[in-house]
Amino acid sequence: MLETVRFSSQVGDPAPPCYGMASDGSFYTFEAQYGRPAILILVGAEATGELPAILAAMEPCRTSLASRGADMFVIVDDNPLHLLDGDALSVRAIDCGGFLTRCGVGPRETLALVVDRNLRIAMRADPVRDPAIATACLACLDALPSEQPRPVMMPAPAIVLPNLLSRAMCEQLIALFESSHTIDGTVARVDAAGRAANVIDHAKKHRRDMIVEPDSQLHRTLRDLLLDRCAPEIVKAFQARVAFTDRILVSRYDGPGGLFRRHRDNTAGNVAFREFALSVNLNAGEYHGGHLLFPEYNDHRHATSTGGGLIFSAAVLHEVAPVTTGSRYVLLTFFHGQQAEECRLAQAFG
């Protein structure tokens, strides 16, 4: 049962579902929270004595959340009505012990989380042992990617997921690329006899690729992490279930001239099983150019922060604009579901 299983939600993971009774007696669910980031203070049933000191430490947050369009909640495994009194009632408390369990918080433990507008975890900290907890939470809120509201007339069908990979993981992948054997990026073509083949064509695609070894622990770690974090978003946005990845690459587009001209990712027979593409930026701000473009939909230049991922259908026409200076590092892979996997296997071994 749920109460006997402990989960550990890490930075980049979606927050587990949360629902329960709020301190004003109303029913609360995360469905009402989407669109607003929040600071969540999780307090185990035997740690409620820490709550006054935690709230005092968090006072700077409580007075500046409105200007950031954010909220703060205390989540407990108890009736919240008797835990908060006086001016602390301005902090909404939720009785949701199941949420604490899913976040790996035991009865004697506390945890502070910052979640973004999509309720994905952006920060974890110990609110008791971290004397600068309020400053850290506010800095995390300020660092969350955001845009001013504006009319959007011609959006591209793509999902942006900030913090898909940690900055440390991005740096590790870049270092691995630089110390590993790399190859010229190829494009899929069909020859005169109708056979699919991968060829080098620098006028079409100019980048260096490193293949993450399929049997390596790094590949397994990346595969599991990316599926865990991306598959739920693909279901939500596209009503499609994915369970498999294609090869995982770390690639470098060097300026001037690194590019990948207009293409679709699943038109050749040997890659027809691909359903969704993923591009993760590993070093935002260290190059110019290199934006992702979707010319069928608009002329916008798409980019993410370091560790941020962009997911889109493999059938969508797209291109990587030329890198003008610096080097753009990305992690690249594709997702597909069970039926596509059966087709891939039939083609590979049929």
pLDDT, tens only, 61-72: 888 898 999 999
Burial of 217 (0-12, 13-18, 19+ CB in 10 A): exposed
Nearest in space to 141 (alpha carbons), one of 112, 165, 164: 112
Nearest in space to 48 (alpha carbons), one of 2, 102, 85, 10: 85
Bond from prior residue into 145 cis (ω within 30 degrees of 0): no
pLDDT value of residue 79: 66
Q: Where in the chain is the domain with CATH 3.40.30.10?
A: 13-143
Q: Are 19 and 96 in contact (CB under 8 A)?
A: yes
Q: How confident is the model at residue 53 (pLDDT cuts 50, 70, 90)?
A: very high
Which tokens hold the place of 59?
Answer: 């006072």
Arithmetic mean of pLDDT over the chain: 90
pLDDT value of residue 172: 98
pLDDT value of residue 80: 62
Give me the percent of the chain exceeding a pLDDT of 90: 70
The CATH number given to 158-349 is: 2.60.120.620
How many other CB atoms sit within 10 Å of the CB of residue 119?
Answer: 21
Q: How far is CA 130 from CA 105, 111, 137, in A?
A: 17, 11, 11
CATH 3.40.50.1370 for domain 13-143: no
Q: How confident is the model at residue 4 (pLDDT cuts 50, 70, 90)?
A: very low
pLDDT value of residue 36: 95
Q: How confident is the model at residue 281 (pLDDT cuts 50, 70, 90)?
A: very high
DSSP assignment of 168-221 equals HHHHHHHHHHHTS--EE--EEEE-TTS-EEEE--TTTEE-EEEEPPTTSHHHHH
Q: Where in the chain is the domain with CATH 2.60.120.620?
A: 158-349
Nearest in space to 258 (alpha carbons), one of 210, 305, 324, 304: 324
Average pLDDT over every residue of 258-282: 95
Which tokens hold the place of 182?
Answer: 């790399």
pTM: 0.90
Average pLDDT over every residue of 317-337: 98
pLDDT digits (tens, 9 = 90+) for 147-182: 888 999 999 999 999 999 999 999 999 999 999 999
pLDDT digits (tens, 9 = 90+) for 191-246: 777 777 788 999 999 999 999 999 999 999 999 999 999 999 999 999 999 999 99
